[in-house]
Chains A and B, each alone.
Chain A
Amino acid sequence: MLFQAILIVFALFAIAKTSKMYKQQKVSVYWFMVWTFFWLVVITVSIWPTTTDIVAGWVGVEKGADLLSYSAIVVLFYAMYRVMAGQERQNKELTDLVRKIAIMEAKKPGSRGENK
């Protein structure tokens, strides 16, 4: 019971925080909706834990708690993939930028002229 209460309070806090960030235009409307939906689901499951058993039945998993665990693992792996892909893209962009600077500011041989 205590755990459920803590979860609900935390979810409400997260919704309030996301909402504030959206008002300050720090997150897009897309992310505001995604996060709000996610925390609303958390609140629903906290109040009525058996709802997960119904969804679990639809997808062929025995218990709702198991379904949550499996889903969390899949979501976390996907999130990690997205973070790594983003990091890789930023790495490439940084290399492109460094390359442009290096070529723009190339130092040509001085009085010696070109090597022969």
Chain B
Amino acid sequence: MRIVAVIPAYNEENRVHAAVADVARFVDAVIVIDDGSSDNTVSEAEKAGAYVLIHPVNRGQGAAIQTGTDYALDVLDADIIVHFDADGQMSGEDIKSIIQPIIEGSADVVLGSRFLGLKSNMPFGRLITNRLSWLFTLLVSGIKVTDAHNGFRAFGRHAAEEIRITLNRMAHASEILDQIKVRKLRYVERPVSIKYSSETLAKGQSFFNGFTVLKDYFKAKFLG
């Protein structure tokens, strides 16, 4: 089975090399999608031995993931695609457990969760935002997961072909869950550990970004 990791990156010159090296131990190929960075993310990802796809202008994390997925399916002929972050918060060690249900054939999609036992130093503000997004997903998508906005996921080839991300920015996480439900894909959750640092927290999602996610999600629903 050919396992390919897809890593969207935006201005991650200090962290992307380590993230690629970490993931490369557990997959057959790593794709980094540079989303219009203004720093040395591209050269760092190249040095680390990744396939590098460059968005000439910033299109958002959702768009970058879809670009990587297209390349993984059409060019690298991937059987399993793993979504991973470039900021060093995730651990490559978790890839083994996250792809296992797909290898066994018991799931089409495996979603990482920070709330299934593994320790995480998630700050309180982030926890509140996460719980609100969990509630929102349950009400709108009708899908019950413990961690609605975790970027660590794995897809079997069939699921990756079925799901098409159209929301360019952070609302893509809700869109993926929507499509899992609509396309009746089998999904399970697996615990993953996420380590937060002051640097990644400064760059990551804030409570107010949650409103942007909601706006993008509903805008797409009304404007198609």
The answer for the CA separation of A95 and B74 in the assembled complex, in Å, is: 18
The answer for the CA separation of A108 and B59 in the assembled complex, in Å, is: 22
State whether A108 and B55 are in contact (beta carbons under 8 Å apart), knowing that A95-B63, A115-B27 are contacts in the complex: no
Are B51 and A94 in touch, CB under 8 angstroms? no
Are A103 and B53 in touch, CB under 8 angstroms? yes
Tell whether A85 is near chain B: CB-to-CB under 8 Å. yes
Are A94 and B59 in touch, CB under 8 angstroms? yes
State whether A84 and B223 are in contact (beta carbons under 8 Å apart), knowing that A91-B168, A103-B71 are contacts in the complex: yes
State whether A102 and B57 are in contact (beta carbons under 8 Å apart), knowing that A107-B46, A109-B51, A115-B28 are contacts in the complex: no
Are A102 and B223 in touch, CB under 8 angstroms? no
Report the minimal beta-carbon distance from B65 to chain A, rounded to whole angstroms: 11
The answer for the CA separation of A33 and B168 in the assembled complex, in Å, is: 38
- For chain A, the bracket of interface size reads 20 to 34
- For chain B, the bracket of interface size reads 20 to 34
Interface of B, secondary structure class, is mixed
Are A107 and B75 in touch, CB under 8 angstroms? no
Interface of A, secondary structure class, is helix
For chain A residues 82-116, which have a beta carbon within 8 Å of chain B?
A: 84-85, 88, 91-92, 94-95, 98-99, 101-103, 105-110, 112-116
What string of 1s and 0s marks CB contacts (under 8 Å) between B41-61 and chain A? 010001001111111110100
State whether A114 and B166 are in contact (beta carbons under 8 Å apart), knowing that A102-B33, A107-B46 are contacts in the complex: no
Residues of A near any B CB (own CB < 8 A) = 81, 84-85, 88, 91-92, 94-95, 98-99, 101-103, 105-110, 112-116
Residues of B near any A CB (own CB < 8 A) = 20, 24, 27-30, 33, 42, 46, 49-57, 59, 63, 66-67, 70-71, 74-75, 166, 168, 219-220, 223-224
Additional 19 contacts, C-beta under 8 A, given A98-B55, A99-B59, A115-B49 = A84-B219, A85-B223, A88-B220, A95-B59, A95-B168, A98-B56, A98-B59, A98-B63, A102-B33, A102-B54, A103-B67, A103-B71, A106-B53, A107-B53, A109-B46, A112-B49, A114-B28, A114-B29, A115-B29
